[in-house]
A and B are shown apart, each in its own frame.
Chain A
Amino acid sequence: MLKKSSFKRPNNALEGGEAAAEKKEMNEGVCVACPACKRMLFLDELSEALNCCPHCGHHLRLSARERIALTADEGSFAELWPGETGGDPLAFPGYADKLKKAHKASRESESVVTGTCRVGGSPCALFVMEGAFMMGSMGTVTGDKITRLFEYAARENLPVLGFTVSGGARMQEGILSLMQMAKISGAVGRHSDKGLLYLAVLTDPTTGGVTASFAMEADIILAEPGALIGFAGQRVIEQTIRQKLPEGFQRAEFLLEKGFVDAIVPRKEQRSVLGTLLRRHERGSAYAGV
């Protein structure tokens, strides 16, 4: 089932403040410190535990390929539109260089991987965002691939399963990134109008324009324990209201309490929960072709 070889760690930590603190790599490639309890964890034991801390249960981040290996039935994943890259549409200062670094850090061409797979035997269209690619930020290629996936799923009568991790819309593609929010939302709506299921799993962190669009548009919204999920960044809120934020603010448990996610599902249970939910929405042969 799971192969350790699929757990290649990205070269770099995620960009940005909180994100950078997440993966303090010690002894290069042998162990890491748990970002929550600070205990040293061997990478071997970590991947054995699906990248969850064996001591405190903290869910460490996963790459898109690790997610796919954990979620899809073995050998069932077929990638759609691999290797796609965008340009630098606004000739934004420093962006071309940032893209090069992101490719290197993530070993991905863009911040989302799309395709089809089976989960617990049920077929679905799948998108998985890649946090190591510019913090999973949503540029035009990200938006276009996710839009195309919903269009493809609508044509093929497939449910969509999506894993989000994102700092929001990508600043370096300016207004073109912002437009992806409306574009994806239109595709989600059309897919939904066909009576098809969209299942989202929000992972740490899911923020900004992704939260304010497709992350919050699923029929069933699941979250990983402890995941940071919100519209505004914590620093921005603190600067706006000039006070410290309460403990646990914008964490998955907070969103569950406030009524914005359906359930928190620990990583080790996800495969079975997702399989069950997909199966519950499978249409009998009587509906085929509708």
Chain B
Amino acid sequence: MVKREIDIAVIGGGAAGLAAAIKAKEKGIENIVILERNEELGGILPQCIHTGFGLRYFKENLTGPEYISRFIKKVEDLRIESKLDTMVLEITPDKKIIAVNSVDGLLELRAKAIVLAMGCRERTRGALGIAGTRPAGILTAGTAQRLMDIEGYMPGAKVVILGSGDVGLIMARRFVMEGAKVEAVVEILPYASGLSRNVVQCLEDFNIPLLLEHTVTSIHGTDRVEAVTVAKVDANWRPIQETERTIECDTLILSVGLIPENELSQTAGIVLDPATGGPVANELMETSVQGIFSCGNAVHVYDLVDYVTQAGELAGESAARHVLNELPSLRKKIALKAGDNVKSVVPQIISGEEPVALHLRVKKPMRNVKVKMGNLSIPKRVVRPPEMVVINLTEKALEKLEKRDELEISIEEETEP
């Protein structure tokens, strides 16, 4: 077995991991290794051929491949080592990493700091429990995207999409552009789960029906999908039987949510937040295990890659400071708890002493709200589940904040005076 001592190991070579590695290198850390499962760097972005990336970070409207290639080039220019086709099997709490690939065989790395940047994966049919047969032709949106835009296969000709997450909406448009017919996008909620920009440009532009408050109740077909049954749901998400109808199709695409990938965090004994599915992180992106940091969609699912990059940079900088023995431990710890209409908040622990950006996911859309955090009250025009709510706690806001060990963040609709 190959054994090596390194300064920083970055697990995952997507947007978060690349940003972390670059930042750590720029902070003067020499011995960094990126471990990547795929045969190329870039994570999900090489298959996101649409535009809309980088508007915040680069102030440019880039496609996924264009966005990520800037970071891949930088990794190469800085001569940061990356091991591709490499599967990490285990991380221990004392920062030993067991990985495997076909060149080194089994690999044991001892790192002074680790950055977890594994990203997220898609919920599958198994997580939904849809009745019916198990034919071919049921794919997650991301798998369909990879088949179409990386591997050059056409996954289907007559398509129903379940769930209106962004990747599902994007794929609705791609299917139509490649000559398929998209019969409907079926969403159980009364509003789309994806960004409104995608609803307009991917569905409305191509006259694809969006069936809100509907779900797929059954899948038909033996070898290949032949049809699905859809029905309207009541307020408790129960299908209303009289509204059932059958839509003929050969493909069912699932776009029903993303889950942070954290099996490795668990082997390292890291505390996870049930609300996000990712590690509990403090404002320096440090997890519950000292010297292990986390960032990007492994922590919680972001709406924009630009934020993922920023989180990666922060985690990379913290990891570098840890290696250099410059990382302060938080003198004060304020635990942030999700209150009314807040699904999750990251970071979960702040010091209350340094300015920090909080990222919130809300449960339901609301207009004219106040984000309440202890004695602070921050107005917002709208909050919507697809869009991350960003709260910048500036120095001034922190001065005003009454610091307690625990603070609840809740979102309340303003009542008319």
- Whether chains A and B associate is no
Taking beta carbons and an 8 Å cutoff, which residues of B are in contact with A?
none
